[in-house]
Amino acid sequence: MEEEGKSWWQSRAIWGGVIAAGAGVVGSLGHMVDPEIQGSLVDVCIALGSAAGGVMAIYGRIKATRAIGKA
């Protein structure tokens, strides 16, 4: 039995890495991003990613040309 994994945009590790890299770039430009703010940004990205996934699923079902059935 194959376990289904989560999408990349649902991964806290991916978002944490993206935000940490972004904070590094911002830091090199002379600005500081507090680690607490970085953590909050991860939470926001996860929430937005989940919402976007839900919207995409609904949109996809509305635009589908074939009914859902047995494969």
Report yes or no on whether pTM surpasses 0.75.
no
Does residue 10 belong to any structural domain of this protein? no
What's residue 71's pLDDT?
A: 60
Between 8 and 48, residue with greater pLDDT: 48
Does residue 52 belong to any structural domain of this protein? yes
Does residue 7 belong to any structural domain of this protein? no
What's residue 3's pLDDT?
A: 59
Does residue 47 belong to any structural domain of this protein? yes
Does residue 15 belong to any structural domain of this protein? no
Does residue 2 belong to any structural domain of this protein? no
Range of the domain at 54: 34-65
Does residue 40 belong to any structural domain of this protein? yes
DSSP assignment string, the chain: -PPP---GGG-HHHHHHHHHHHHHHHHHTT----HHHHHHHHHHHHHHHHHHHHHHHHHHHHH-SS-----
Does residue 20 belong to any structural domain of this protein? no
How many structural domains comprise the chain? Answer: 1
Q: What is the pLDDT of residues 25-61, one digit of tens each?
A: 888 888 888 888 888 988 888 888 888 888 888 888 8
